[in-house]
A and B are shown apart, each in its own frame.
Chain A
Amino acid sequence: MKLLVAVDENPYSRYAVGQAARLAANTWADVVMLAVEKSRAYLDEDDLDQEHAHPKTLTLKRYLADFLGSVGPEADIYGPGRDVPFGRRDGDVLEADASGRKGMVLRVRSGNPAKAIAAEARASGSDLVILGSSQHEGGWGRGSDVPGRVADAADCPVFVLRENVVPSKVACCLDHANVTQESLELINQCVTLYGAELEVVGVLRRGELREDVEAKMGEVLGYYLDRDVRALVRVVGEDSLESFIESGGREDLMALWLTRKSPLQKLLPGHRVASLVNHASASILVLR
C-alpha cells in the first residue's frame, strides 16, 4: 500500500501524521510525505540556504521525526531516520529519500495546494491520500477549502481526518453495486486500525433499495460478520443523504464512493462534496 500524507503547519497536520504512522505501523505501507509551498519565482535561491529558501523542508523533517516516533520500535523499516538532504527532482519538486526497507520520501511541491496534492497522488501512484482538517472547516490557510477540493480532484481515495478524533464507527454509504475490491480493502484496514464497527448504509433511490445494492449490502455484511467484525446495516433516502453525512458525529468516519458509476456523484456535485468534506464533524473517506 502506498500512502501520501499531505501536511501544512497546523496542528491537525501533526495529528494526521500520527494517524498515518499508526496505519503505516500496521500495514508497512510505502509513504510519501508532501508539503506545498507558494510559488516564489522572485526568490534567487543562490542567495539563500535551502532551509531559508524552502522552509517546508524543515517542516517535513520535523514531521518525519514525529512519524518515526509514532511508528515506534519498528520504525527502522523506514530507514535510520538520519538527516537526508533535499535535491531537485522533475523540475519544481524537491525530494529527500529517507527510505529503508519500506519507502519514506519527503517532497515539496509548489503552487495551488489542492492541485499539487492531486498531482503528487497521481505521480506516486498512491493508494490513499491522508490529510488533516480542522473541525467544521477545511483549514489549510484562511478561507481555504483544500481537503474538500483534494477529495473532489484526486483519482485515488482520500482520507480527511478531524483532529483528536479516533473513529469508533465507519459508515459506508453504498449507493451502487460496483464497489471495487480495493475500496473494500481500504475499509478493512480502517476498521482494523480503529477497532471500529462498520455500518453498511444503503442509499434508497425514490424510496426503494435497488436489488443490486441490497445484494451488495448483504454480501459486504456477510463478509465482515464471517470475519468477526461487528457490522450493521441501515438505509437512507437519497434526499436525506446530505443530512445523514452531516449528522455523523466526531467519532464517525463516513465513507463515500465517488466514481463515475456512483449515483452519489450525480446527487452531490463536486462543490457539494467539497463543502461536505470541509464542514462535516465526522472524518471522511472518499473512495473511488
Chain B
Amino acid sequence: MTTSTKTSILILDDEPIVSKRLQPALEKMGYEVESFYDSSRAMARVLERSFDIVVTDLKMEGVDGMQFLAAVKDRSPKTEVIVITGFATMDTAKESMRKGVFDFLAKPFKLGEIQEVIRKAEAHVCGEDK
C-alpha cells in the first residue's frame, strides 16, 4: 500500500488530547502515525496518499466524520477505518458499519483497548495483502 514497510495510521480527532495520547503509544509499537485535528487537512492528506488504518472521530467541526469515512473508503477501499466517538448513537454505530468500518469505539476507552483494535485491524490488512 505504501513504500514504507511500517503499517501506516492516520488519526483524526479535533480534540488534541486523543492524538497526544495515541500517537506516541502507536509509534512506540512501531507504526508510522500522522495526526490531524483539522478534518479538511486530513481530507487533503488522504487524497494525497493512502493509509493502512484510519482512526477518526465522528463529531467534528468542518467535514463530518461520516463524509470523511466515505472519502477514505472511496479513495482506498483496503484501508481499515476505526471510528471513535464521544457522542455515540445507535444510528451512528449502524451507519458506520454500513459504510464498512472495521470497528466502532465509544469514548472513554483505555489506550490498551484501541491498541488491541488496531492490532486486529493490522492483522486484517496483512491478511488481505497476502
Contact = CB atoms under 8 A, between A and B. Distances in A.
Interface in A98-154: 125, 127
B107 A185 contact: yes
A127 B86 CA distance: 14
Interface stretch (A22-30, A162-170, A232-240, A276-284): A22-30
Interface string B80-115: 000000111110011000000000111111101100
Interface residues of A, number: 21
B44 interface: no
The majority secondary structure among interface residues of chain A is helix
Interface in B41-98: 59, 61, 86-90, 93-94
Assign chain B's interface to a size class: 20 to 34
A192 B108 contact: no
Contacts of A28: 88, 93, 104-106
B108 A1 contact: yes
B69 to A, nearest CB: 16
B16 to A, nearest CB: 10
Interface in A219-266: 226-227
B106 A74 contact: no
Given A2-B113, A74-B94, A181-B17, A26 B108 contact: no
Nearest to B91: A26
A127 B110 contact: yes
A186 interface: yes
A187 to B, nearest CB: 10
A25 B106 CA distance: 11
Nearest to B104: A28
Nearest to A125: B110
A162 to B, nearest CB: 23
Contacts of B104: 28
Contact of B108 (A74, A181, A226, A227): A181
Contact of A186 (B59, B105, B108): B108
Given A185-B107, A186-B108, 8 more contacts: A26-B90, A28-B93, A29-B106, A74-B93, A182-B107, A182-B108, A189-B87, A189-B106
Interface of B: 15, 17, 59, 61, 86-90, 93-94, 104-110, 112-113
Q: Which 9 A-B pairs have the closest CB atoms?
A: A27-B106, A182-B108, A185-B107, A185-B108, A27-B88, A26-B88, A188-B86, A192-B87, A1-B106
16 contacts: A1-B106, A1-B108, A2-B110, A2-B113, A26-B89, A26-B93, A27-B106, A28-B104, A74-B93, A127-B109, A181-B108, A182-B107, A185-B107, A189-B86, A191-B87, A192-B89
